[in-house]
Amino acid sequence: MSGWRERVAAALAWFCGWLVLAAVLVLLGFLLYRGWGSLSLRLIFGQTDPWAALTLSQRVLEGLFPALAGTVLVVLLSVGWALPVGIAAGIYLAEFAGRRFKALIGLCFDLLAAIPSIVIGLFGLTVTIFLHRIFWPSLGPCLLVSAFALGILVLPYLVRTTQLALEGCPLLLRQTGLTLGASGLQNLWQVVLPQSLPRILGGVILSLGRAAEDTAVIMLTGVVATAGLPESLLDRFEALPFYIYYLSAQYSGPEELRSIFGAALLLLLICSFLFVAAHLCRRLLARRWGVG
């Protein structure tokens, strides 16, 4: 009887796995079919010379280059500030927090992860209005506020991944450094953390994708349709998710529809590039420390 149940469970698992794979392939195939023909330098740079656009000597007025640059900037800024905070909080919860405090803070981060992104965007807007009226009159919705709000969005993933990675470190490995005379901090810094870094990077990869695809947060905190390249952190900016959302709601012809699918492909390419870069870092760390 138990063998029959195991075979049914295995068959169901295989079916679900192939179903998810088929859905992803169908989606990618549809995007490639509709958007591949629109991918060109003109889609990205418009009538502007590509070299002039890349060297910032000429502004791109019709292409997606400002949206590409804005997407990369806001993702790197948001993950950049959330990464040290998330890793530090995860280390504290895994290594130093008491049982009750760990359960309480862990519950708070789980609730934060469950909050809809539109609510986090509204929180970022509220903080901006408060700072504008009380402390910072020149502050408004901008790249800095969007990065701050997106960092809050991805912070729970970084905290939980770090915590689980450290707690999953084998007990025998933990005791090795201590038996050789290392202090608790030395053992954490030189043994436990290096062995957990490849798994922590899994949370970083997830955070990169979560920050790159979100529209609701940046829509309330600084993104606009025609901002151009931001000259500072206090400027508004463009982003591919908002461009796709904005034109999908009001495109006027097949040419704009093709550009929407092209923008979707470009967004997938950006996410793929960030994922590959993080995965390569993970492989290098795994090879360096001899872990998987």
CA 55 to chain centre: 27
Task: For residue 260, give the CATH number of its domain.
Answer: 1.10.3720.10
The reported pLDDT for the residue numbered 85 is 92
Asked if the structure places residue 11 within a domain, the reply is: no
For tokens 């420390």, what's the residue? 289
> Can you tell me the mean pLDDT for 168-179?
74
CA dihedral over 94, 100, 105, 111, signed as positive or negative: positive
| Residue bearing the bigger pLDDT, 92 or 254 | 92
pTM of the model: 0.83
Q: Is the pLDDT of residue 185 over 90?
A: no
Asked if the structure places residue 17 within a domain, the reply is: no
Asked if the structure places residue 280 within a domain, the reply is: yes
pLDDT band for position 262 (cuts 50, 70, 90): confident
> Can you tell me the mean pLDDT for 264-279?
82
What value does the CA radius of gyration of the chain take, rounded to a whole number of Å? 23
For residue range 204-246, list pLDDT tens digits in order: 888 888 888 888 888 888 888 777 888 888 889 988 888 888 8
The reported pLDDT for the residue numbered 181 is 67
Burial, 17: exposed, middle or buried (Cβ in 10 Å; 0-12, 13-18, 19+)?
Answer: exposed
- Nearest partner of 89 among 184, 185, 156, judged by Cα: 156
Tokens of 266: 């470009």
| Residue bearing the bigger pLDDT, 162 or 292 | 162
- Nearest partner of 217 among 186, 182, 245, judged by Cα: 245
Asked if the structure places residue 260 within a domain, the reply is: yes
Asked if the structure places residue 125 within a domain, the reply is: yes
Instruction: Indicate the average pLDDT of the chain.
Output: 83
Asked if the structure places residue 18 within a domain, the reply is: no
Asked if the structure places residue 12 within a domain, the reply is: no
The reported pLDDT for the residue numbered 78 is 92
Buried b or exposed e, range 182-207, using 16+ CB within 10 angstroms: eeeeebbeebbbebbbbbbbbbbbbb
For residue range 113-122, list pLDDT tens digits in order: 888 888 999 9
Q: Is the pLDDT of residue 140 over 80?
A: yes
Domain of 158 in residue numbering reads as 39-289
Q: Could you tell me if 292 and 238 are in contact, meaning their C-beta atoms sit under 8 angstroms apart?
A: no
In this structure, of 1-5, 78-82, 253-257, the range with the lowest mean pLDDT score is: 1-5
pLDDT band for position 138 (cuts 50, 70, 90): confident
Q: Is the pLDDT of residue 148 over 90?
A: yes
Number of domains in the chain: 1
Helix (H) or strand (E) holding 65: helix 65-95
For tokens 């870092």, what's the residue? 281
Which CA distances in Å does 222 have to 121, 142, 143, 226? 10, 4, 6, 12
The reported pLDDT for the residue numbered 282 is 72
| Residue bearing the bigger pLDDT, 277 or 141 | 141
> Can you tell me the mean pLDDT for 246-265?
82
Asked if the structure places residue 2 within a domain, the reply is: no
Q: Is the pLDDT of residue 291 over 60?
A: no
